[in-house]
Amino acid sequence: MKKEEICARIKEIGIIPSIRVSLAEDARFAAKAISEGGIPILEITLTVPGAISLISGLAQSSPELIVGAGDVSDTETARHCLDAGATFLTSPTLDLEILEFAVKENVVALPGAMTPTEVKTAWKAGADFVKVFPCAQVGGEGYIRALRGPFPHIPLIASGGVNQKTAYHFILSGATALGIGRDLVSQEAIHLRQAGRIVTLATRYLNYVKDARSQLIHPR
């Protein structure tokens, strides 16, 4: 899948589930459940044991999935992730070396940013999306709305504190997509192997995005 297609798919789906677990087996279980719930996008954080091998396995066995690497900390690791089949790179902070690497390799880049200066810097350096993190802790939906004022052209991903109470409002406030961790990738559901629970959550979050976007187009 080409870079432009991946960007378009992320914008269309509007959700990037972040899998952060302590066992590779749990990550595989979560990935399957999320996919069955209708979300073909996964971020495997590099804190997962054997994360790069996991990315490789998912990329080979499920080519329909968009599998990215999260918490990328340096360009050497970024290279290993791309070689394994990762199709996007993201991190919680703005690391210009990693961003420059992603631009050079023509891979989708979602750097983290918190301040308006970081958001602008990331975009000027070639980011495809800017992940506002930690979003809820610095103002939540109101902060996304405030950033959209001077940066209406920058696709923002709200990440950090996105849950069932806030998802709809983040999209309504202007977020292009949502980065969601434990509130979608339920640790309890994984532990109990309750795939249906994760499938239900995935469907629910897709509906939050759909309903909010509909409200933006056709205000009540």
| CATH code of the domain in which 202 resides | 3.20.20.70
165, 167, 171, 172 alpha-carbon torsion, rounded to 10°: -10
Q: Reply yes or no on whether the pLDDT at 152 is more than 70.
A: yes
In this structure, what DSSP letter does residue 138 have? G
Q: Specify if 191 maps to a domain.
A: yes
Q: What is the DSSP letter of 59?
A: H
What is the residue range of 186's domain?
A: 3-214
Domain membership flag for residue 220? no
pLDDT tens-digit readout, 196-220: 999 999 999 999 999 999 998 877 6
Residue 164 falls inside a structural domain: yes
The percentage of residues in the chain with a pLDDT greater than 90, rounded to a whole number, is 94
**114, part of any domain:** yes
Q: Record the tokens describing residue 140, joined without a space.
A: 């939540």
Split into its structural domains, the chain has a count of: 1
Report the 10 Å Cβ neighbour count for 40: 16
Query: What mean pLDDT is predicted for residues 165-179?
Result: 97
Res 220: pLDDT: 67
Is position 219 within any domain? no
For residues 183-198, average pLDDT: 96
Residue 197 lies in a domain: yes
Looking at residues 119-124, what average pLDDT do you find? 98
Over its C-alpha atoms, the chain yields an Rg (Å, rounded) of 16
